[in-house]
Amino acid sequence: MTEIRLYNSRTRRKETFEPLDPANVRMYVCGPTVYDRAHLGNARPVVTFDVLFRLLRHVYGEGAVTYVRNFTDVDDKINAAAQARRAAGDPRSLEDLIRERTDETIGWYHADMDALGALRPSHEPRATEWIGAMIAMIEGLIAKGHAYAAEGHVLFRVRSYAAYGALSGRSVDDMIAGARVEVAPFKEDPMDFVLWKPSDDELPGWDSPWGRGRPGWHIECSAMAHELLGASFDIHGGGIDLQFPHHENEIAQSCCAHPEGGFARVWMHNEMLQVEGKKMSKSLGNFFTVRDLLDGNWSGGWKVPGEVIRFVFLSTHYRSPMDWTVEKAENAKDTLRNWFRLSEPENPDGYGLHCVLPHLADDLNTAEAIGALHALAANGQGAALRYALNLLGLDPSSDWWREGRDERTSDGLSIGVSWSGVRPPEQIELASALAFQWANLRKRKEYAAADDLRASAGFSGLELRATKERDAHAEIKDHFDPAKLEALK
């Protein structure tokens, strides 16, 4: 069996992965808070742990891996989005508006992550479906002296867990000195964190022994992980931004609630993402969602196929900061187009697996795996390349990269049209008509009108040019806008 080695954030070293039960390998990854579209940074852990999920399924068997990724559907940002809809005149109850918003956002998330080639996890629990388990865990923590009720809140006693700070490598006193912590008169200690908080009549809430309220963020993952994976499981993953306080708090409350278990044995964290060398932010104008890329609404101006986004992610090791650039995306598109074209054989060759598997088994070294793919392509090993691409979740059977051509002669003018992916016949006809019109203008030496048509077509996503073989060639770009092309008829 392939030996897998993973970097454990808790021990700060690479370790041989030995599952608690090889017949049931268990992994939990923190999922999104579903109030809006997933931005590009949200997608990096999805792709990272999708590769790990695929690797574990390959090594231990598809039915031997349980992957849980949650949806946080109770949150102040979700409440604010629903309240804004009601303020805008929607007469429905806040509960109905929240459910509509979270259902809508989960639908968006699934569509966007599907486009990146990510497999659906085994379980995708919604926090609101596990409130009872959260209340039960909180009651147990109070009974053991690890939590206390105060003014409708329940708080975790951080100093009751001696190992607090081991994951992030900080002491409690250092954290108090260097961090901004919420100071409330009902807290015994500034570092104590909320397990339960009260809800007024305007906010979602559930009945509990401490009054009507809702759970704190950290208890959600602990309760759902315990219910679906048990007191001990193999891997817990997420972005490095969650290491503290979220994951630190998960460990403390879970190990105190279930001292018979060890919670997660291996902790894995992906590094953060930048855009063109800078932190992604709306104020810098470099913030965009996955859907913005897929639809072409970003600074690059073209529709980025999901496989291209995935390839850019995989080109950097998950524990290294990643920089998204227009140049990387364009190079990735060209590389994948060439690889997909080369990997056309229908009978994949297992040799490709042997080229990439050792790299993936070495702490998900996808950058080295991609280097192996370059070698396969350079040697013309298309069948092996196809096998390796599939293991990385890059699907050559998609259509965006396929190229089509149309050539015809009209009134003595030779016209060509080229495109990628699948295009409706009417769009090809329109492109051909515009190419013919442009060639005719040039033939009649109406160069100003020809230049205007070429510029307008280019703005629409259609490049017009003359070649040695053709009087006019129209190339339909990835970011073409059919509505604008229609207006140029």
Give the residue ranges of the annotated binding site for ATP.
282
Long-range contacts of 6-12 (CB under 8 A, 24+ apart): 6/235, 6/266, 6/268, 6/363, 6/364, 7/268, 7/319, 7/363, 8/265, 8/266, 8/267, 8/268, 9/167, 9/243, 9/267, 9/268, 9/269, 10/166, 10/167, 10/266, 10/267, 12/169
Burial string for 8-42 (b: 16+ CB within 10 Å, else e) reads bbbeeeeeebebeeeebbbbbbbbbbbbbbbbbbb
Q: Which is it for strands 403-410 and 462-465: parallel, antiparallel or unpaired?
A: unpaired
| Dist. CA 13–CA 319, nearest whole Å | 12
DSSP-derived letter for residue 120 is P
- For residue 458, give the nearest of 422, 485, 425, 430 by alpha carbon: 485
Task: Provide the H-helix boundaries in 235-297.
Answer: 248-257, 290-295
DSSP-derived letter for residue 244 is I
Kindly list the distances between the CA atom of residue 262 and the CA atoms of 77, 237, 254, 266, 312, in Å, as whole numbers in the listed order. Answer: 32, 15, 8, 10, 35
| Dist. CA 163–CA 134, nearest whole Å | 22
Whether the Cβ atoms of residue 112 and residue 43 lie closer than 8 Å to each other:
yes
| Dist. CA 155–CA 197, nearest whole Å | 9
Sign of CA dihedral 172, 177, 182, 183: positive
| Dist. CA 314–CA 333, nearest whole Å | 13
- Binding-site positions for Zn(2+) read 30, 221, 246, 250
Go through the chain and tell me how many residues it has. 489
| Dist. CA 465–CA 109, nearest whole Å | 40
| Dist. CA 489–CA 487, nearest whole Å | 6
- Token pair of 273 as six digits: 């993402």
| Dist. CA 294–CA 111, nearest whole Å | 11
- Binding-site positions read 30, 221, 246, 250, 282
Q: How many CA atoms lie within 13 A of 183 on its CB side?
A: 4
DSSP-derived letter for residue 242 is G
